[in-house]
Amino acid sequence: MIRFTKMHGIGNDFVVADAERCGPESGWPNLARAMCDRRFGVGSDGLLLISRATNADFQMRMLNPDGSESEMCGNGVRCVLRWLHREGWTQEPVVSLETGAGVLQLEISSNGWVRVDMGPARLLRGEIGMSGDPQAKFVDEPLAHSSGLNGTAVSMGNPHLVVIVDDVQAVSLEVWGPELEAHSLFPNRVNVHFVQVLSPTTLRQRTWERGAGATLACGTGACAATVAAHVTGRADSAVTVELPGGNLKIEYAPSGHVFMAGPAEFVFEGGWLEPDER
């Protein structure tokens, strides 16, 4: 039996477990598909597997509900720090976490929120994993899509396409989301975010995540949305991002690094039965 914890960061929910207790790595994609299933499994937007690391204090691997692996997850890393404290792996307020996007610094505050240095935002096509000139940027460019909209591409260690719209509630998310996720500009697919600028300090966002579909929140996406809104002159460098599941505080610092702060909550603990235990 695999012991796990169900957690969420403003509605972006995860199954969190000790990687060593989850069998061989070759079986993780099937485990993610089974555990993330909302009718036949636990139900979540991703499976977070935690281990100790050599290049940092700890390591996080994230698998999507379709079994693919994501480089990073902003809401997920906040959950990881609280999980580490609850499980007794550390009581340090600041830890380093190795992810597929590099090593991140996480800090827990007195109110339980977690602040994360998400690293630098990257705007070059080659850094994002886009087709075309690797030294060129894709900022407020036409998408050649039926929506007729423009987009800005940003990497936060994983690829994002930010589309600024007048009204996020009017967006056909279930149609435009998967179409843009598989856009030819992004050979490895992309996370898609529709963003409405409410004021220079407030954004409203809806997300279609690569490999997961519509989610209530996306931390790296909120970071990308802040960068896109700022570099196109629509918003300040420090904003509140309103997502369906709650709010995040994002700062795009002069150094180019992006800082994210938000909550992480426990839901329940359980045990996942292996096939021979059922």
Task: Using DSSP bridges, classify how beta strands 58-63 and 94-99 pair: parallel, antiparallel or unpaired.
Answer: parallel
pLDDT attached to residue 47: 98
Residues 181-208: tens digit of each pLDDT: 999 999 999 999 999 999 999 999 999 9
Find the mean pLDDT for residues 126-145.
95
20 and 63 both lie in a single domain: yes
153 and 252 both lie in a single domain: yes
How many structural domains does the chain have? 2
pTM of the full structure: 0.91
How large is the C-alpha radius of gyration of the chain? 18
- Among candidates 100, 71, 73, 67, which has minimal Cα distance to 8? 73
Angle, alpha carbons 97-35-56 (nearest 5°): 10
Instruction: Note down the domain range covering 20.
Output: 2-113+263-277
Given a contact cutoff of 8 angstroms between Cβ atoms, the answer to whether 118 and 224 are in contact is: no
> What positions carry a catalytic annotation?
73, 218
Residue 110 clears pLDDT 90, i.e. is over it: no
Residue 274 clears pLDDT 90, i.e. is over it: no
Amino acid at 63: L
Find the mean pLDDT for residues 14-28.
97
- Among candidates 203, 215, 144, which has minimal Cα distance to 177? 215
- Among candidates 218, 275, 237, which has minimal Cα distance to 8? 218
pLDDT attached to residue 277: 86
CATH number at 15 reads 3.10.310.10
Find the mean pLDDT for residues 150-166.
97
Residue 73 CB contacts under 8 Å (≥ 6 apart), including other chains: 12, 14, 46, 48, 60, 62, 219, 220
Residue 105 CB contacts under 8 Å (≥ 6 apart), including other chains: 94, 95, 96, 97, 116, 117
